[in-house]
Amino acid sequence: MDNNIRAIALDVLLKIEQNQAYSNLQLNQTLQNTNLKSVDKALLTNIVYGTIQRKNTIDFYLDQLLNKPIKKKDRWVLSLLRLSIFQMLYLDRVPDHAIIHEAVEIAKERGNQGLAGLVNGILRKLQREGTAAMDKKAEEGIEKEALSYSMPQWLFDRWKEQFGQDDAEKMAQSNLLASPVTARVNTKKSNRKDVLELLLEEGIVAEEGELSPEGIIIKEGYLPATEVYKQGLVTIQDESSMLVARAVSPESGETILDTCAAPGGKSTHMAELMQGEGKVVSLDLHAHKIDLIKRQAERLGLENIEASVLDARKVSEAFETGTFDRVLVDAPCSGFGVIRKKPDLKWSKTEEDVTRLTSIQRDILHAASEMVKDGGLLVYSTCTVDKEENDNVADWFLSNHPEFEWDSQFAEKMPRSIKSYIIDGRSDLQIMPHYFNSDGFYIAAYRKKTTGGEKHA
Ligand SMILES: C[S@@+](CC[C@H](N)C(=O)[O-])C[C@H]1O[C@@H](n2cnc3c(N)ncnc32)[C@H](O)[C@@H]1O
């Protein structure tokens, strides 16, 4: 069975590489289509994410272990070596000799005796000699952090400049850890206590989350296979992401705009908080993603979501100015807060991408702000930790939109444990992954000033 897991892990890694697919999407698709036990699914997840997370460091070792480059047609062997080295160096669960044996069997089956010999030789050398000599070389190199934390040096340097050495190191370190699986209870259908009991009956060990009143943390078991999930009592979502809908704080009967809504995590959360009363208008640029929102809404039993395709920058072509009580801009971003779940992001995104994204973020925020009623609320959020995309965009907005002010009630809506991270006089929040073992998220909330009338939201 274990051999099977490694063969599947190899296929997932190759598909991610060949199709440039997002690791989480490719892996989830595979997890849904295999009948592995939940403990094996966890191991598969660990191997795939871990191998991508540590790619930099593993390749640094591989460079030194390989005597000559691997032929182009046999490039898949590199992925096999990477996932085997990841297990040998970073996973305690399986002894080295078993990892080597399985890798050699896969190389034999998929390649030939020569490749099996190559795999055997490299992995045995690593087993025999360890990494001490190679680590010494790394210490002498200039890209020290890139190798210790297995991330591009430019990104580490950027974090160091933005947050200081200590936070940059803590964040880089926490990104190498497995992310907890968390879910949101659908409060339109049930409550946290009942859901925890139902999950236990299905063999899923879970506990209450710390950050969100609807949050639960899955300790053991594969949630998507449960009846609780299928019946729409829960949605898989990170706890910091749940705080976004809290910042919007929609009320029953209101009309809400979610400008960048797919796959629907926050739209459905807001619709649940509204107890199905009122309306959430969910937009996304990509037609194929609208279906994802609709499917989630259906699974969760939410009838108050209207999803359609639209470029949020052109929202004024579809709606009258000041139509919505509250508007959420959960903007496209670099995703540097969710590296634990999408490790490929740290290898694929560049500094130029960050700059390009900030201009889209500004444009969407500007267009969306026109949709807010007097006295209404506008929330800007991202799943990144980059100041250029976060504080800078948020500050730019406020200085260019005097009709808005910080939402003075923002801190009250956030959990107590987080309040110390909110700076006095502002209503924004940067959550780093190492603060609460959650995704890195940024949230800023503004209120549109009233033009003489009473406060609305
Ligand atoms: C961070 S994701 C949104 C996640 C979503 N709010 C959730 O909670 O499930 C950003 C989304 O913005 C969409 N997007 C990108 N550019 C856009 C634009 N100009 N107008 C509308 N949506 C856009 C992307 O397709 C992507 O689905």
With a cut of 60, say whether residue 1 has pLDDT above it. Answer: no
What is the average pLDDT value for the chain, to the nearest integer? 93
At 241, the pLDDT band (50, 70, 90 cuts) reads: very high
At 53, the pLDDT band (50, 70, 90 cuts) reads: very high
Closest CA to 393 of 339, 332, 440, 351: 332
Enter the ipTM: 0.99
What is the per-residue pLDDT across 276-328, written as a single tens digit (0 to 9) for each?
899 999 999 999 999 999 999 999 999 999 999 999 999 999 999 999 999 99
With a cut of 60, say whether residue 330 has pLDDT above it. Answer: yes
With a cut of 90, say whether residue 32 has pLDDT above it. Answer: no
Task: Specify the higher pLDDT residue, 37 or 236.
Answer: 236
CA-closest residue to ligand 1 atom 27:
262
Which positions make up the binding site for S-adenosyl-L-methionine?
A: 260-266, 284, 311, 330
In the reported structure, the alpha carbon of residue 261 is separated from the centroid of ligand 1 by a whole-number distance in angstroms of 5
Is 3.40.50.970 the CATH classification of the domain at 181-236?
no
What's the topology of domain 239-448?
Answer: Rossmann fold (3.40.50)
Domain-wise residue ranges, the chain: 2-141, 146-176, 181-236, 239-448
Closest CA to 305 of 237, 239, 245: 245
- 3-class DSSP string for the chain: CHHHHHHHHHHHHHHHHHHCCCHHHHHHHHHHHCCCCHHHHHHHHHHHHHHHHCHHHHHHHHHHHCCCCCCHHHCHHHHHHHHHHHHHHHCCCCCHHHHHHHHHHHHHHHCCHHHHHHHHHHHHHHHHHCCHHHHHHHHHCCCHHHHHCCCCHHHHHHHHHHHCHHHHHHHHHHCCCCCCEEEEECCCCCCHHHHHHHHHHCCCEEEECCCCCCEEEEEECCHHHCHHHHCCCEEECCHHHHHHHHHHCCCCCCEEEECCCCCCHHHHHHHHHCCCCCEEEEEECCHHHHHHHHHHHHHHCCCCEEEEECCHHHHHHCCCCCCEEEEEEECCCCCCCCCCCCCCHHHHCCHHHHHHHHHHHHHHHHHHHCCEEEEEEEEEEECCCCCCCCHHHHHHHHHHCCCEEECCCHHHHCCHHHHHHCCCCCCEEEECHHHHCCCCEEEEEEEECCCCCCCCC
Please pick, among 383, 393, 432, 457, the residue that the annotation labels catalytic.
Answer: 383
With a cut of 60, say whether residue 3 has pLDDT above it. Answer: no
Amino acid at 163: F
User: CATH for 2-141, among 2.40.160.40, 3.30.70.20, 1.10.940.10, 3.30.300.20?
Assistant: 1.10.940.10
What is the per-residue pLDDT across 400-417, written as a single tens digit (0 to 9) for each?
999 999 999 999 999 999
What is the per-residue pLDDT across 92-151, written as a single tens digit (0 to 9) for each?
878 999 999 999 999 999 999 999 999 999 999 999 999 988 888 777 766 778 888 999
Cα–Cα–Cα angle for 313, 315, 321, rounded to 5 degrees: 125
Sequence-ordered list of residues with C-beta below 8 angstroms from that of 423, at least 6 positions apart, any chain: none
CA-closest residue to ligand 1 atom 6:
261
Q: Which of 184, 260, 290 to mutate to test the pocket of ligand 1 (most atoms within 8 A of CB)?
A: 260
What is the per-residue pLDDT across 335-361, written as a single tens digit (0 to 9) for each?
999 999 999 899 999 999 999 999 999
In the reported structure, the alpha carbon of residue 347 is separated from the centroid of ligand 1 by a whole-number distance in angstroms of 21
Q: Is 333 a catalytic residue?
A: no
